[in-house]
Every structure is written in structure tokens, then in C-alpha cells.
Structure 1
Amino acid sequence: MQDRAETSPSAGSLRRLDPLAELMMLDTRAKFPMGFFIECGCEGELDREKLGAALHKVAYRHPNVMSHVVWKAGRPFWKLAAQPPELLWDPHSAGVDPWRPFDLSRDTGLRLVVLPSTRQSGSPAKWRIVLYGHHAVCDGLAVCELLGEIWTHYANRPLPSLACSEVPAAELSSASQPIISEIDKPIAERLTSVLAEALRFLFFFPAKLQRNSVATQRAAAEAKISANGILPYAESCVSPPYRILSFTEAQMASLRKAVGTRNVTLNTLMMAASMRVLAEWNREVNGSQRGIRITMPVSLRPDSRRQPAENRIGYAFLDRTFSDCLNEETLMQTLSEASAWIKKSGAAGMFITAIGILSKIPGVLWLILRLPLCFSTAVVSNLGDARRCMRTELPDSDRGQIAGNTVITYVVGVPPVRPRTTASLGIVRYGNHLYVACLTDERTLGPAAAERLLARMYAECLHLASKS
């Protein structure tokens, strides 16, 4: 394990990291330190001073956002930092790398990055604003709420009150418990069902995404990716490490019609498309026909009260064989049934329970993250409706929500690439548009891997929509 400087401040100034945050802290890969991104596009005037003031005002409301990590007796603790999160305005002009890994021993785990997109009469007319955070601080839903609070304060509107961060243990545990119809079953039957799923998880060995040959990588890097919906970045900006795919309003309508005809959710269709794309990717690279596992974050928030930013998620694991992925209709139906089971059984909370138990044994989590095993083929996270996730009362327009003289035209979420996993996909709706973002470990998959995966997602989603 890495050597870390220990500190001995008063116990009252320290807060223990929750088990999931501690797990995130142990990921020390050079370019992927459990960082995630929430990006929004903006049009109109943008006031740098007001945006910075809004960031600082919101940060001081959330202890994790205003903290860095200190070590005591071999354990990480949160301690309030002297400085609030950074606002990096046009980092290309400033000569700053906004995507550098976080050093939580010195700095907070959140940055607000402002990228000019296009200019009009010498002044930027469009902007890309990115909240870049370390997953130890909080989850993606919490960052969406942070973004909503920043825009609320920017628009000179009152910030919503926060509930106490100390949620009663009974209430918190109920968030991951089965719903009533499942609780009515005999305990032996429920335990048998959960144990069966746990055994299936342990004995399913998912395929990792395979790397193309050097020649194929070079050709892909030089060729123009054939997906019309991939959003370009201005040449003068410091491009984020992920790429974004946008579906038009008409394409979104086709996708909604497709899921309505099949009586499944949009999330089910997107999960099925992801699995089929990942399976086909591996088959084309080296003929692999091994199974696919998707890690899917699931919210464990106990109620609708707004809480200080922190991690309140669990994970569900969706496993399918290669042959399962070939029949798209059967795949969607089985994924729909699996989603219903996850909701009824509270299975997503089992992961957090297991991490909590393992975290009590020194060194076990550190060792697990370094085992040469593929834990999952990819992470696929669906935030749903971004406007609902942001929980703001900003006025709406045909172009998006309005904050002062600025219009928010889209919002996208990008989950981190987990250890032993080389790709992640983030799915978000904003208004009548659908966005898919992709982050890949290019050291493993090679250059342009994100664009290539998104091009395949684009084609697969439109294929599924055309068959409704």
C-alpha cells in the first residue's frame, strides 16, 4: 500500500469516510482516479465573478465538497479544507490541465471547469461547463443537485434548505430494502433468491473489452467517426477525456415509440443496446464470445429530502452470455424482468453491505482492487431526466432552462471507469433530447475508442427503434 502522511487533529474535526468512499480512495490508477463528470452546455452571457461566487456559496453548504482527506491510524477521514473548490476558466488559455488527478490529501475533490465553445464578435457565445469530481466526495445524482444549486444562486434565486446529513439508521437502511410485496414472502424464500443471485455473480466470468490491433487503432484515429450525433469540441479548448453522443428530438420520439411498443423502459432499451455493442465489439476484435457484465449504479436515497452531497448509491450487476445478446427482443424482456427484481429485492444495497463488512478488515479492499480479474465489462449509468435530477425551479424555454442571461441547453453525466473495467457509458435525458457519454481507458483500448463505441451505440439504438 502507498505511504501516506498521517495527521493527529482533534477528533471532533474529522469525519469518517463511508465504506464506498473509502473504496473509491483506494483506486490510484494514474489517469482514472474515480473521477466523474457532469457537463452542461450554455448559450449567452456568462459572468465569471457570479459563477465563482455561486460555486463557493454552494460548496460551503456541503461538508464533503469543502473537505480534503487526512489519515489517522491507517484510516482516511474528511477534514475541512482551507480553500473552496477551484473554478478553472478557459484552462487552455491559462495553460492549466483541468483533468489532472485529484490530490485529496491537499485539495478538495471537486472542480468547476469552464470551456469556451464558440465565439461571436470576440466574446464566447457558447460554453461547456463541467463539474469534475472525485467519487469519494459524492455520487452523480448529488453532483446534479450541486449543479442545480450553482445555477439557482447564479440566477439570484434562494437556495433550497438542506435536511440534516445524519439520516436515522433505520430510515437509511430502508432505502435498500425490498418493497412490501417482496417482504411478505417468507424470509427463507427471500434469502434463497438473493443467495442464488450472489452465486451466479461469483461464477460468471465476464469478458473485458478487447484492444484492436495497432493498425486498426491508427486507422480509426485518422478516420472520421460515422456518427452524426457526436458533439465536437472547439480546437482551442482543452478537450475532456470523454465524448458525447446526442440524439435529435425526432430520434428520441422513435426510441420512445419503440419502448412503448415493447412495454419496456427506455433504460431497458439502452442497457440492451449497450450489451449488444460490447459483445459485438469483442467478437469483431478477436472472435471472443464470452459473456458481458454491466455494472449499473442504483440510487439508495431514502426519500425526496435534499441532503448534503455524499454517496447514496448501490450497484446492480447485469450478466448475459454472448448468445443472450444476439436476440434483441428476448434480451430486452429479460433485462426488464431483471430491473423489476432488483427494485423488489433491494439487491443493489447488498454491494454496499458487503463493502462495509470488508472495510473492517485492514488491507482487504486494497487487495481486491489489485486482483488481476475483470470485475465488469463496462459501467452503464442512467441518470434519467437531468432537469428532475438538478431539482431547480429555473424557468424553462424551448432551448432549455434559463439562469439569468444564460440558457442551459443540455446536461450530460459521465461515470468513472471502475478498476478492472475499461469503459463507462452515461445516459441522460434533457428536454426532448437523449445524450450518451462515453469514457474509456485509452491506454488499454487505444485512441478514439470512445468515439467508436458511441458510433456503434448510435447505430444500434436507431436499429432497435426502427424495428418497433
Structure 2
Amino acid sequence: MPAQESDEPLFPLPLTPLETFFVLDEKESCPSAMFIELQFSSPLQLPTLQNALDETVKDHPLLACKLVREGERFFWHFDPDLAPQVLTNDDLPLTTGPADNPQTQPFDLFRESGCRFWYVPEETGSRLYVQLHHACGDGVGMRQVLLETLTRYAQATGDPECGKTSRKSSRSAPDPERLRDRNDFSELLSKPPKRSLTTWDRIRNAYYFHFQRPAVLSKPRGFGSASTQQAIESQAISQPLRHILFSKEESASIEKACSNASIRVNDLAIAMLFQTFEQWEQTHGGGKAIRYRVMMPVDLRSRRDLDLPATNRLSFAFLGRRKDQCQDIEALVSSVADEVVAIKETRVHMDFLDGLAAAVQHPRFMRWVIDKSRHMTTSVLTYTGDLSRGMKKFFPESDGQLQIGDAYLRNALGSPPAREGTNIALGICINWGQICISASWNRQAWDAATTDQFLEMYANNWRSWLQQRNEISS
């Protein structure tokens, strides 16, 4: 269905309530900016990559906008001079500060766009980082930006037929006018929920969210000690994300075990996170924590949104457990799987957007609530596999990598931003049969070595669950 044409100029474009929330919720010490990391086993041609990005951003103008405040309202103003450039460390360092706790570059959305690209050459290949402020987009919306950019790069470096036979490429380019509709969920809500929430349900949910504060994960004993710093510096690490990758054999076994247990990998990821919270607090916090909470982004895209320029189409759901509910692993996994189904059936995550829409009408009250509600989530966990989903339709696979013109893509990873009181944020994805876990962390409370410790404990819990399932099945 084509978008209706309008004689009114698209910009200045008012922010949606969710975009406003991301602007107001941000602190400079904890930027509301996610990272996407593309790992290549080959170098890239920078001028060609920049040309491909320039052409792509023309279809995604929100990536070349800055904020303007008028009274209590915020607006996007388009400025072609703000289009993202492919930076190197000589232009702007990817990270600053010590190697054991690299700080990420914050955005000033009133002076610059909320999207940056970095190219980092390596001895065995290269990495392309995308830093994206959550106010102007999300990981799912960036998928089309990456696909278009990489397709143009492939066409310019030896594969002129790339993308010409794919189903997606037959569509017209995203229509910027669709940005007006980015806060319209009428198509999604055209069908009633499978199960309606009662008034009592909503009161109970509000009490749970606002008055039962979750634990903030503790700093490990010896945090910042010389031995910890030496361990991380010995690896020469100064990267914005940390990763744990399961082998393809382990990944296949985990997916099979989840299928046999009638759960999704995402359900397992959330349940194992609760288990790791309790183990972490027993080890580092003395077991004083009472309850934990995970924030799970929910993608609200419909089929029509496939033609929507890069933007936010998310809401959020919150799953909580008391410490005593994190002991019985089988019961924990089952209850999480059931709750995720209930979230989707009741659309409780839409209440979050409804609350933002009401709050944005009273800006001072919204600011007050946000300032008082910074410690509402123990961790964020999202599925970032949409970055690589369907890429095989565009690019040929060779030895577990995707050939993109003269380049070979090994992995596409990402993680949402950590915020104050949320010391770790995780992104789970399955790239070409391999389960990958990426993490960002609150630089004011943790460091890269601490994040590695948490990820190792987390991955070992996955492996323990898999072993238990194998023992049950045998």
C-alpha cells in the first residue's frame, strides 16, 4: 500500500513519545546508543563503502537529522551535511579511556546526527562498527540500512548482479514520507489480543513495575584491582562490546534441545539470565538481592513496515523473578516460556507505549518520573539476529561466511545500550547456525573484565542446561 503524498514538508518532524523517552532518559555517562559490529575476514575499500552509505542514507533521512527543542517539545531537523561518515580512529576514536574499561563516544543530538560508522582494520581482516542513538533507530530498523549499503558495496566491487534477483530488491526504495506513520500501530492493533488484561491486572502490573524495585548487579570483589586490569590488558582489548560465541556444534545442540523442550532460544536466554543473576549476587553481593528484572524489547513491525525507513518500532516488556524462583532451572525455563507467550497474547507491552503517550503530554511530570525510575531493570536482553536474518538471500555463502563483493562477512553482532542501574545489556543472535552473545556494560560500575566474567558464567549455565537436557533425553 503506497504512502499518501503530502504537500506539507516532512521536516521539522516531531519526535514520537518513545523517541522523546530515549532523549530524556539519557545521561552522558550512559549514552542511549547501541553498537552493531560487523566482523570481516578481509579489508574493505573505504571510498567505495562511503559512496554506498551516502546513497543508502538518502532513503533514511532520520539518520541525517539533529534535534531542535521548541518549548517542551523536540523536533527532528534534516541536514544533509550531517549524513554519517565512515570514520577511522584518526578521525574520532572509537573508544576512549583505559583498555580495561573503554568509554564509548556520547552523542550531542543537538549538533550531530545519531548515527556513526567506524572502520577498524585488523591483521586478519577488519571490523565495521555502527553506533546508533536509540532515539533515531533500533537494530531491526538498521537491518535495511546495512543490507542496502552492503549490496551497493558488493555491486561496486565485483558483483554487479548482487541484489537484482532477491525478492526484497524488487520493492521500491523506502519512502521517507512513511516517517510520519512511525507512531501509527493501527495495522498491528487491527486484531484484538488473544487475551485481554483486566483492570486488576493493570493495577497489579503498575504496582509491580513502580514499587517492587529490582536488584542492581554488584561490582565484583577486587573490582579495579591490578590483577584484574592486567588480565584484560594482556588481551590488548579496547572494544565497545564483549562477546561469547558458542561453537556451531554446541549451537545446533542447544537449538535441538530447545525444540525438544518446546521453547525458543530466546526463552532459554532469559531464564539463564535470571539464574546467572542469582549466582552472581551470591558470589559478589553476598546474596542480599531479593528480586531481579529483565527488560525485553518487543518488535512491533508489521508487513507494511518493511518499507519504513530506519526508525524505532519497539516497545518493551518486563519479566521479573524473586531469588527463590531462580533455583529450580526446569521450572524457571518453563515459567519464562509461558510468560513470554502471555506477553504476546495480552500485548501488555503496548501499555508501556500508552503510558509514554500520556506522559509526553505533561513534559515536566515525564522528566520527574524518568529521573525517579532509573533503577527499574537488572538487565536488558534483546534478540539481534534480525541484523543477519535473510542475508543469505542477498549474498552467497562460502565456508561459513558471506561474500559481499570483494569482502567476506564473518559475523554480524550487536548489543543494546546499558544504562544507569542496568550494569549489563545483552544481545543474542544466531548467525548462520552459530549462537552469539554480545554485551555492553555500564562503564561507571563495571569494566570489560567484569563483563567477561559475567558472560562466562552465563554461557556455562547454558551448557549446564544443555547437559541436563541430554541426560534426560538419554
Short-chain TM bin: 0.7 to 0.9
- Which residue, 188, 195, 200 being the options, matches 1:175? 188
SS of equivalent to 1:267: helix
Q: Deviations over 1:56-100 (max 9, x none)?
A: 111111121111111112321000124243434441x55634642
| Aligned: 1:204 with 2:236 | no
8 Å Cα contact 1:254/1:466 also seen in 2: no
Q: 1:424 to 1:329 in 2, by over 3 A?
A: same
Partner of 1:292: 292
- Residue of 56, 71, 89 corresponding to 1:58: 56
1:345 positional shift: 0.9
Q: How big is the shift at 1:52?
A: 0.3
191 and 400 in structure 1: CA distance in 2 versus 1, 3 angstrom threshold: farther
Question: 1:392, CA displacement in angstroms?
Answer: 5.9
SS at match of 1:270: helix
CA apart distance, 1:112: 0.9
1:337 pairs with 2:324 = no
Q: Which amino acid aligns with 2:188?
A: A
Matched AA of 1:300: L
The Cα of 1:174 is off from its aligned counterpart by 4.2
| Alignment partner of 2:93 out of 93, 96, 101 | 96
Query: Residue 194 of structure 1: CA displacement?
Result: 4.3
**Equivalent residue for 1:122?**
none
Q: How does 1:168-317 map to 2 (within 5 A)?
A: 172-175=185-188, 181-182=194-195, 190-214=198-222, 217-223=225-231, 235=236, 239-287=238-286, 288-303=288-303, 305-317=306-318
User: What is the CA-CA distance between 1:343 and the residue it aligns to?
Assistant: 1.0
* Cα offset, 1:320, TM superposition: 0.5
Kindly provide the CA deviation profile for residues 266-293 of structure 1, in whole angstroms up to 9, marking residues without a partner as x: 1111111111112211121122231110
Counterpart residue number, 2:122 = 117
Aligned residues: CA RMSD: 2.7
TM-score between the two structures when normalised by the length of structure 2: 0.85
Q: Report matched runs for 1:265-414 at 5 Å.
A: 265-287=264-286, 288-303=288-303, 305-371=306-372, 374-384=375-385, 386-388=387-389, 393-414=394-415
Q: Name 2:461's counterpart in structure 1.
A: 460
**How far 1:376 moved relative to its partner?**
0.5
Q: Partners of 1:275 and 1:436 in 2: how far apart?
A: 16
Q: Which segment drifts farther, 295-304 or 416-425? A: 416-425
Distance 1:313 1:281 in 2: 30
Tell me, yes or no, if the aligned pair for 1:112 and 1:130 is still in contact at 8 Å: yes
Structure 1, unmatched stretches of 5+, are 1-9, 119-124, 226-231
Provide the C-alpha distance between the structure 2 equivalents of 1:37 and 1:467, rounded to a whole number of angstroms.
34
Runs of at least 5 residues in structure 2 that lack an aligned partner in the other structure: 1-7, 96-103, 156-161, 164-168, 470-474
Tell me how far apart the structure 1 counterparts of residues 211 and 52 of structure 2 sit (CA, whole Å). Answer: 49
Contact 1:16 1:78 in 2 (8 A): yes
Query: CA 1:332/1:178 → structure 2, altered by over 3 Å: closer, same or farther?
Result: farther
On the 8 A contact 1:36/1:414 being kept in 2, the answer is yes
* Separation in structure 2 between the aligned mates of residue 365 and residue 456 of structure 1, nearest angstrom: 37
Aligned 8 A contact 1:414 1:438 in 2? yes
CA contact (8 A) 1:44 1:126 kept: yes
In 2, the alpha carbon distance for the partners of 1:344 and 1:371 equals: 30
Aligned to 1:151: 150
Equivalent residue for 2:159? none
- In structure 1, the partner of 2:101 is none
Closer/same/farther in 2, CA of residues 166 and 24 from structure 1, 3 Å limit: closer
Percent same amino acid among aligned pairs? Answer: 23
Alpha-carbon spacing, 1:130–1:176, altered in 2? closer, same or farther (3 Å): farther
| From 22, 29, 32, the counterpart of 2:30 | 32
Using the TM superposition, name which of 139-148 and 367-376 deviates more.
Answer: 367-376
- In the alignment, what sits opposite 1:73? 71
Q: Does 1:17 align with 2:22?
A: no
1:426 aligns with 2:424: no
Q: Contact 2:143/2:386 (CA < 8 Å) preserved in 1?
A: no
In 2 relative to 1, CA 219–372 (structure 1 residues): closer, same or farther, beyond 3 Å? farther
